[in-house]
A and B are shown apart, each in its own frame.
Chain A
Amino acid sequence: MGNLFKIAMRNLLRYKRRTLLTASLITIGVVFVLVFISVSGSFKNMMIGQITDSMIGHLQVHRKGYLASIENLPLNMNLKAGAIARLEEKLNKLPEIEAYSQRVKFGGMFSNFVETTNIRLNGVYPDREFKTVPLLLSRIIEGKKGLERGEILIPDILSKGMGVKPGDTVVVVATNKDGSVNGKQFKIAGVVESATGPGGRDGYIHIEDAMDILRIEEKEVSEFAMRIKDFNHMHRFYEKLYSLLSNELNKMGKPIFEVHTWEKLSPFYNIAKMIDVMTFFIKLMLIAIVLISIMNVMIMAIYERVREIGTIAAIGTPPGKIRSMFLIEGLCLGVAGTLAGDIAGMVFVFALNMAKITFDFGRQKGLMLSAEINTVDVLTISLIVIIVSVIASLQPAFKASRMEPIKALRHV
C-alpha cells in the first residue's frame, strides 16, 4: 500500500502546476465553507444564546392552550395554585434543570404622569429570573442591576420615548381577568436594552406586585421558564419532561401542561433553520467543486498515461491495483487540498476575530462577530472532501483498470 501512495504522490508531483491548481481550488472551497460555517454558526449560536439566556430560557411550560393565544397574554389561561404546586414538585426532582422562573405576563398602561403608553410586563421573582436568564442582568444598561418590590425595569425604547430614567416614579395600570382596572406606582430601578425577539421589549416587576395590580389573591403563573444544565441535550430533556407532564391530567382527563423548547417560542428559529439550509447548500457547492475538479484532473491523468497503464497491465499488474493507484492519487489530491484548506481556514477565522468586526441585529447594535471553528465541523468538511475526492476518482480509476493492455500500448 505504501508503494501505491509513493507512486501516486510522484505522479501528482509530475504535473506540479496542474496538481497545484486543483489542490488550490479545493483549498479555496474548504476555506470558504469553513469560514462561512464558523461565521454563520457563531452568529446563530450567539443569537440563540441571546434569546434563550436573556429572555425566553431554554424551555417553557404553560397551561395547555396558552401558547396559541400568547400574543394576547390571556390571564384566564394562567396556571392555578394546584397546578403550580404539582409542576414545581416535578421540576424540583429533575437534576437536568439548573434554574426555573415563574412569570406572570400581562399587558398594561405605563404613565409618567404626563403621557401614557402600552407596556408588556413580566412579574417575576428577580433572583430566580436572573438565574434562569442570566444575560438579563447584562441587558440592564442604566440603573441598578437588580429588582425589588415596588420597582420596575423598563425597556430603553420606553425610557427614551417617555423621557424617564432610573429613580423616576411611574404608574402602571392594568385590567385584570374580570375586567376591573387597577394601578400601582413604581420606581424605575433600571433600563433594559431592547432585544430582538419575543420579550425583548418587555418590562419587569416583582411577581407579588404583578399579583397586586391584577388583584390575584391565590397564586397564578402564566409560564415557567427553565434553564437546563446542558443545552446540547435540550431535546432529550424535552422528551423526558414532555412524557412526565403528559401524565398530569385535569378533571376532564386532558393534559394540564404544554412544554415548548425555545424553538417553538422564537421566530429566530426560522432564521437559524435558514442558516442551516444555506450551510447545506454551501457544502453542496464544495462537493461539486471537488467532484468536478478531481474528476477532470484524473480523466486527464489517465488520458495522458494510457501507454503507461498499458505497460503496467501488460507486465501483470492486477486490475485492482491499477484501480487503487488512481484512487489513491485522487485521495492524495483531496487530502492535500483539505489540509491546506483547514489550515488556511483557521488562519482566516483567526484574522477575522483579530479584526474585531461588529454588526447589528435588529435593535441590538455593535454585536461583536466572534467566529469559531468547531473541531467537528472541520472533521466533517475534511471527511466530505476526502470521500468526494475518492468518489470523483472512481470512474477514471475503473476506466484505467478496464483498459485492454494491447489497445493501451498502441495508444499514441
Chain B
Amino acid sequence: MSLIAAEKILKDYQAGEITVRALKGLSFEIEAASFVSFVGPSGSGKTTLLNLIGCLDKPTSGKLTVVDTDVLHLDRKQSASFRGKNIGFIFQDFNLIPVLTVYENIEYPLLMVQSVPSDERKKRVTTLLEAVGMTDQKDKYPDQISGGQKQRVAVARALVTNPKLVLADEPTANLDHKTAYMVIELMKKMRDEFKTTFIFSTHDQRIVGEAETIFTLEDGELKGKEVKGGKVNG
C-alpha cells in the first residue's frame, strides 16, 4: 500500500473576493522509503501540496491519505499529534529555535512532542548528530553556525522522531550549490539508513536530478512524473 495517496485534490484560496485555485484535482501515489521531488516554477502549487501532505492545511475537496490516515478529518489537536508522530519537516529558512543549542534543537521533538525517556533521547540525538556530522557543534546556538550546518541540524531534527515521512520545502533555496548538494546527499543517506520517505520541493534545476521520483507541477496541475530509469507522463 502507498504511503501517500492523493485523489482529485482541489485547493482553493480566497483572495478578497476572488477565489484562486491553487491545486486543480491532483491524483498521485508515493511509495514508502522513496526519495521524491516536486518541481515547478514559483506559484505552481508545490508548497501548497506539501502543506496538505504535511497536515498543515486541508484540501478543499478530494481524498488524501497519509500513512494510512485520512487527514481530511483530523482536527487541530489530532493534526498536531499526527504530525508529531509521522512527519518530519525541513524548512527553507531552517527554522531552528534560536534559544536552543544544536543538541537541544534536535532533542526538542522528542522532549516536547513525544515525551521520550531521557536515555533513549540521548541515544537518538547522539546518533543523529554523528549521522549529520554535527557532533562537534552540538553546544553551539543556531546563530553560531553556518547555513549548511543549520540545514543539517534541521535534517537531524526532522529525523529524530523516526518519522515515516520527511517533507522539505525548498530545503536548498538558501544554500550555495555545494552545500545544497551536500544536504540532498545527506537526506538521501538518511533515507537509506532510516528507510524514511523524503519529499522535497524545489525549482533548483541543479538538484532536481538527485530525486528518484520527480513530479512536475505547473499552474496547480500535475504535468508529469519521472521515475529514475523511466518517465511516466501525468
Contacts and interface: CB of A to CB of B under 8 A. Distances in A.
B99 interface: yes
Identify which of A307, A310, A314, A319 gathers the most chain B CB atoms within 10 Å of its CB.
Answer: A314
A315 B99 contact: no
B91 A409 contact: yes
A316 interface: yes
B145 to A, nearest CB: 17
Interface residues of B, number: 30
A10 B112 CA distance: 16
B198 interface: no
Interface string B98-110: 1110000000110
B133 interface: no
Given A3-B111, A311-B91, A318 B80 contact: yes
A11 B99 CA distance: 6
A214 to B, nearest CB: 84
B84 A315 contact: yes
B56 A317 contact: no
B98 A315 contact: no
A316 B91 contact: no
A312 B109 CA distance: 8
Contacts of A7: 97, 99-100
Contact of A314 (B54, B85, B97): B54
Interface residues of chain A: helix, strand, loop or mixed (majority): helix
A312 B5 CA distance: 26
A52 to B, nearest CB: 58
A14 B98 contact: yes
Interface in A275-317: 307-308, 310-317
Contact of B112 (A11, A14, A312): A312
A317 B76 contact: no
Given A308-B97, A315-B113, A318-B80, 6 more contacts: A10-B100, A314-B56, A314-B89, A318-B84, A319-B76, A406-B57
11 contacts: A312-B112, A313-B80, A314-B54, A314-B89, A315-B157, A316-B161, A317-B84, A317-B112, A318-B77, A318-B81, A406-B51
Interface of A: 3, 7, 10-11, 14, 307-308, 310-319, 321, 405-406, 409
